[in-house]
């Protein structure tokens, strides 16, 4: 016992010494006053992390007086980390956030507006694609994105062949999509999916597909001009669109959210015939073992209204960053949003350039893979979220009520709208 104890005690002291020494190191690195150090936070998306590291290396070469420290965190804990850090007064200088979070972060006083001297509102509006406009809050822009994302339809040509469909003619209308999907769906005798024709979901891109694509195609403007009113059920067409969307899984049984963990995984595994996903999925799908294609989102009827949903990850300077650090952060942001960097970004990360000029590039528009996404950007809408998490959860819960508990379509739809309206009221009344 004595021996064991002595051994443990030595180990304990030893570890403490080791630990104590290691904590000293981290303090000393701040010594050099010539160089301004700024921190950049993002979530762990391996290709993005690699790309940012590359950009930083180039940037530091040109700007030897600035050192950028990039740090990344698991996605499901990223917002918690930001929260804890800001609450402790230990925030980073630049935050990479999702557009759906901007209003929350402005509301919480976490991020500061882009200074007029750095980039004026006119410059921002001229430089970027139109979809960043909704996020001009109280007459200020708070973030600058490198890239944007839109949606397109991926289809598995091998599965098309197997089902006796023409692998080169993906659906142009939703009706065709349902027909093709039906042909590809395979079920077991007890009603479980072996293969789904369409990766139907409400939790991923599905809810955006509904509010910004289907609703608009049915002639419903989803939100009022200032985004304060939810107008989904203003007209009968809204109810129709909702029913049409849900019937895909409820009546036509062309797909289910449970197939293959997520719809993208299901598609990659060759058990989903079609999915709607963003350009950022291309990187993964490129490695798929089957033949695939990508095309623009379906419309209601041929020649009908085209619509798309756009979103983006964007960069904000944290509140309280000032002086040398602010200047350094702005210089880094300016470097980050350059057109050359955006081009590289598309190649390596798969997100589309955010600059108006680049989007018009002929070569890009005709690209077989990225072309449909670029085309989609033309008629894409970015939803202005006041509380992305909550709004998303309300839709998912509503859809689950119908899927799992056979709730009434119209009642549930009204309930969803009412709840989202409450969230928006809370936000806009505070303003």
Partner 1 sequence: MKRKETTAKRTFSLQTKKALIAYSFLLIPVLFYLAIRIIPAFQAFLMSFTTSSSSAFTMDNYHKLINDEVFWKSVKNTILYVIIIVPLQMLFGLILALAIERMGGKLKWFYRIVFFLPYMTSIVAISWVWRLLYDPNSGILNEILVKLHLPTQEWLGSPSTALISISVVIIWQMMGFCMLLFTAGLQVIPRQYYEAADIDGASKWQTFWHITFPMLNPTIVFLAIIGVIQTLQTFTQIANLTGGSSGGGLGGPLNSTMSVVVYMYNEGFRQYNLHYAAASTVFLFILILIVTLIQFRTFNKSYKL
Partner 2 sequence: MKKKKFSISKMIVNILLIIGIVAVSFPFVWMILSSVKSTADFYSFSFWPKSLDLSGYKYVFEKTDFTRWYFNSFIVAIVVTISNIIFCSLIGYTLAKFRFTGAKLIFLIILSTMMIPTEMLIIPWYVFSSDFQWVDTYWGLIFPGLMEAFGIFLMRQFMLSVPEDILDAARIDGMGEFKIWLRIAMPQVKPAISALAIITFLGNWNAYLWPVIVTNTAAMRTLPVGIAMYGTSDAGGIQWNTIMAMSSLTVIPMIIVFLIFQRQIVEGIALSGTKG
Distance CA 253, CA 247 (A): 8
Residue 190 is a binding residue for partner 2 (CB under 8 A): no
CA distance 85 to 77: 12
Give the dihedral of Cα atoms 423, 424, 429, 431; nearest 10 deg.
Answer: 120
CB 144 within 8 A of CB 315: yes
| Per-residue buried b or exposed e for 194-222, using 16+ beta carbons within 10 Å of the residue's own CB | ebbbbbbbbebbbbbbbbbbbbbbbebeb
Say which DSSP state 281 is in.
Answer: G
Among 35, 108, 250, 288, binds partner 1 (CB under 8 A): 108
Rounded CA separation 102/181 (Å): 37
* Phi and psi at residue 214, to the nearest 5°: -60, -50
As a whole number of angstroms, the distance between CA 70 and CA 39 comes to 6
From the list 15, 133, 366, 418, which residue makes contact with partner 2 (rule: CB under 8 A)? 15
Give the nearest distance from C-beta 342 to partner 2 in angstroms: 20
Q: What SS3 state is found at 115? A: coil
- Position 1 contacts partner 1 (CB under 8 A): no
**Where in 152-211 is the site for partner 1 (CB under 8 A)?**
188, 190-194, 201-204
Task: Give the contact letters, 229-268, x = binds to partner 1 (CB under 8 A), - = no.
Answer: ---------------------------xxxxxxx------
Q: Minimal distance in Å, beta carbon 45 to partner 2?
A: 4
HSE of 204, CA atoms in CB hemisphere, 13 A: 18
Instruction: Figure out which of the listed residues 158, 179, 400, 415 binds partner 1, where binding follows CB under 8 A.
Output: 400
Quote the CA–CA distance of 340 and 346 in Å, as a whole number.
10
Q: Is 284 in the site for partner 1 (CB under 8 A)?
A: no
Site for partner 2 in 26-85 (CB under 8 A): 26-27, 43-47, 71-77, 80-81, 83-85
Q: Is 188 one of the binding residues for partner 2 (CB under 8 A)?
A: no
CB 382 within 8 A of CB 400: no
369 binds partner 2 (CB under 8 A): no
Closer to partner 1 by CB, 181 or 220: give it.
181
Least distance between partner 1 and beta carbon 260 (Å): 7
Applying CB under 8 A, the residues found at the interface with partner 2 are 1-2, 5, 8-9, 11-12, 15-16, 18-20, 22-23, 26-27, 43-47, 71-77, 80-81, 83-85, 87-90, 260-262, 264-266, 268-271, 280-281, 283-284, 289
Applying CB under 8 A, the residues found at the interface with partner 1 are 76, 79-80, 83, 87, 104, 108, 188, 190-194, 201-204, 256-262, 387, 389-390, 392-393, 396-397, 400-401, 404-405
């Amino acid at each position: 016992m004595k021996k064991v104890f002595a051994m443990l005690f030595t180990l304990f002291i030893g570890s403490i010494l080791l630990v104590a020494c290691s904590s000293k190191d981290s303090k000393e690195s701040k010594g050099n006053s010539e160089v301004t150090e700024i921190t950049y936070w993002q979530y762990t998306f391996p290709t993005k992390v690699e790309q940012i590291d590359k950009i930083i290396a180039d940037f530091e070469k040109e700007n030897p007086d600035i050192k950028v420290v990039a740090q990344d965190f698991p996605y499901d804990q990223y917002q918690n980390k930001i929260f804890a850090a800001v609450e402790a007064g230990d925030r980073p200088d630049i935050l990479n956030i999702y557009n759906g979070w901007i209003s929350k972060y402005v509301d919480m006083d976490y991020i500061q507006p882009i200074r007029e001297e750095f980039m004026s509102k006119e410059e921002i509006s001229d430089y970027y694609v139109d979809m960043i406009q909704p996020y001009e809050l109280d007459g200020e822009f708070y973030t600058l994105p490198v890239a944007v994302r839109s949606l397109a339809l991926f289809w598995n040509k091998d599965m098309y062949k197997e089902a006796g469909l023409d692998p080169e003619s993906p659906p142009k209308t939703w009706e065709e999509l349902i027909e093709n999907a039906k042909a590809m769906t395979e079920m077991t005798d007890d009603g479980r999916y072996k293969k789904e024709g369409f990766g139907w979901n409400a939790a991923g891109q599905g809810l955006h597909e509904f509010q910004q694509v289907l609703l608009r195609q049915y002639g419903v403007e989803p939100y009022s001009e200032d985004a304060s009113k939810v107008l989904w059920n203003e007209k009968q067409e809204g109810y129709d669109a909702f029913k049409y969307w849900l019937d895909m899984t409820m009546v036509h049984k062309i797909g289910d959210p449970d197939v293959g963990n997520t719809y993208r995984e299901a598609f990659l595994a060759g058990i989903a015939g079609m999915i709607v996903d963003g350009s950022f999925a291309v990187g993964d799908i490129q490695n798929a073992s089957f033949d695939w294609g990508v095309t623009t989102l379906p419309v209601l009827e041929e020649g009908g209204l085209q619509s798309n949903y756009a979103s983006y990850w964007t960069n904000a300077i944290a509140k309280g960053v000032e002086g040398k650090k602010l200047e350094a952060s702005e210089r880094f942001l300016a470097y980050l949003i350059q057109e050359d960097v955006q081009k590289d970004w598309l190649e390596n990360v798969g997100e589309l350039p955010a600059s108006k000029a680049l989007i018009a590039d002929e070569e890009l528009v005709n690209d077989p893979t990225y072309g449909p996404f670029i085309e989609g950007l033309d008629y894409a809408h970015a939803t202005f979220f006041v509380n992305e998490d909550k709004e998303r959860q309300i839709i998912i819960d509503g859809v689950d009520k119908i899927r799992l508990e056979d709730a009434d379509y119209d009642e549930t739809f009204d309930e969803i709208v009412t709840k989202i309206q409450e969230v928006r009221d809370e936000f806009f009344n505070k303003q």
